[in-house]
Structure 1
Amino acid sequence: MQDELESRHYRVHSPLQAQLLMDRAWLRLLDVFTPEARGMADAARVLGVTTEWLFKRVRRLERAGLLNVHEIRPRAGRAVRLYRAASDTFFVPFSLVPPETVGRHNRAQHLELFETAIGRAFRRAPFDQHGWGFVTARAPSGDVFFRIIREDGVRWADLGEAAPVMVSGWHLLHLSPGDARDLQGELRALHERYAGRAGEIPFLLGIFLTDTSNVPGLEHARDDSHG
């Protein structure tokens, strides 16, 4: 089983490799050199960055053993180095990355990006007009939340195509184990349904669902499901 795993994935052995692979920004950069080898200029074009910006990062991936020189092509002047990722996929054992920290950096990084994008949306039409705000509301489960609304009762979601495309909010749900697994499956299927599409506008989607029954911090939340 171990031999089969290593034949399919490159098994990471160093904390530095694990650290880089757990950062989606570095992973996306490395993915440009997967599965085909690319020169620095070609990779910079794909990423939409300068070769100067990319140079130091390629060197760091190379020193970490995640990126290798695949081929050197002679050229008048300086030879062109083609780089390729050490593997198409990597296996990072929990002995290098504690399970509770997996994704923590990326969630924080992407949440900051998400909040910046949401902030910009609220500074543009229609929210730059007078009368918009939020109203407190209560879900059937007893959880409370905020709803974006205009003073005359119009919700931003009621604006149709004039409303920005965004979904934001944390929701406390009280579910049976079966319902929780059904929801998990539906969320995964929803993501997969759209993940393969190629549109012109990048959207950031976050999907979060976890059991918080033994995690401090939500003790005050109401549970009306048995009342």
Structure 2
Amino acid sequence: MKSRPHRVENRLQAELLMDRTWLRLLDVFAREGRGVADAARVLGVTTEWLFRRVRRLERAGLLSVQGARSRAGRAVKLYRAAAETFFVPFSLVPPETVGRQNRAQHLELFETAIGRTFLQAPFDQDGWGFVTARMPNGDVHLRIMREDGALWADLGDAAPVMVSGWHVLHLTPSDAHELQGELRALHGRYAQRTGEVPFLLGIFLADTSRVSGLEHAHGAAP
């Protein structure tokens, strides 16, 4: 029988668990006690870098010493996470703030990756830029294009792997649920694969009918 998630009762723990960087560090210690050097090898970081973060997780009560083992004549502390999974109630963290810091960090990483893409061939050549375009539903967007009319898609396998864009869609509730299911299924299918190159994928879909800021969008209510 699967155990229930450990309920978090303080805001410090909740804030750390909202940040996937901290969550990934904690997860290395979730299923067994590990020494810091061993965990650092798994994560691909230095022992010194990880040790400082282990101390913070320990002070927050998310990690604790579960024993020790002898190595090269000295005792190595074994750290274990407080649980394998955690439940953070919205009474500790308002729903609108969940993941905000996480998304900001990943957006910065994404923008940096895009910047480096455009320093490489073929975009290091003159003539590339963006063209404004209009979708059938009236939403306007930007497309990467060369001045002679060649599009990103025309490069085929030579095109860097990157998808970027925000689009306003006007859907029925049924269409929106269908799209939500397809996006989850698409992510799930590729999440099972194990390749050697890391890619950052972001999936965003939200009902903005009651949120100001898109009054200009085609089809928006007056």
The TM-score bracket by the shorter chain reads over 0.9
Q: Which residue of 1 aligns with 2:162?
A: 166
Q: Which residue of 2 aligns with 1:26?
A: 22
Partner of 2:74, secondary structure, is coil
Question: Which amino acid is the alignment partner of residue 197 of structure 2?
Answer: I
Deviation track 1:143-188 (CA, whole Å, cap 9, x = no partner) reads 0000001111110111011100000000000000000000000000
Structure 1 ranges of 4+ moved more than 6 A: none
Q: Which residue of 2 aligns with 1:50?
A: 46
Distance 2:216 2:36 in 1: 54
CA offset at residue 137 of structure 1? 0.4
Q: Which residue of 2 aligns with 1:103?
A: 99
Distance 1:112 1:9 in 2: 31
1:175 aligns with 2:171: yes
Partner of 1:38, secondary structure, is coil
What is the percent sequence identity of the aligned residues?
77
Q: Which residue of 1 aligns with 2:108?
A: 112
Partner of 1:187, secondary structure, is helix
1:81 aligns with 2:81: no
Counterpart selection for 2:196 from 200, 204, 218: 200
Distance 1:156 1:32 in 2: 39
Question: Which amino acid is the alignment partner of residue 163 of structure 1?
Answer: A
Partner of 1:157, secondary structure, is helix
Question: Which amino acid is the alignment partner of residue 155 of structure 1?
Answer: L
Deviation track 1:25-59 (CA, whole Å, cap 9, x = no partner) reads 00011011121221111111111111111111101
Question: Which amino acid is the alignment partner of residue 17 of structure 1?
Answer: Q
Q: Which 5+ residue runs of structure 2 have no aligned equivalent?
A: none
CA offset at residue 75 of structure 1? 3.9
Distance 2:33 2:122 in 1: 46
Q: Which residue of 1 aligns with 2:117?
A: 121
1:68 aligns with 2:45: no
Distance 2:53 2:74 in 1: 20
Distance 2:100 2:51 in 1: 27
TM-score, normalising length from structure 1?
0.94
Question: Which amino acid is the alignment partner of residue 93 of structure 1?
Answer: P
Q: Which residue of 2 aligns with 1:142?
A: 138
TM-score, normalising length from structure 2?
0.96
Partner of 2:126, secondary structure, is coil
Q: Which 5+ residue runs of structure 1 have no aligned equivalent?
A: none
Question: Which amino acid is the alignment partner of residue 157 of structure 1?
Answer: A
CA offset at residue 222 of structure 1? 1.2
Question: Which amino acid is the alignment partner of residue 27 of structure 2?
Answer: D
Counterpart selection for 1:189 from 182, 185, 191: 185
Partner of 1:74, secondary structure, is strand
Distance 2:156 2:32 in 1: 43
CA RMSD of aligned residues (A): 1.6
Counterpart selection for 1:8 from 4, 9, 28: 4
Greater shift, 149-158 or 176-185, is seen at: 149-158
CA offset at residue 78 of structure 1? 2.7
Distance 1:94 1:218 in 2: 27
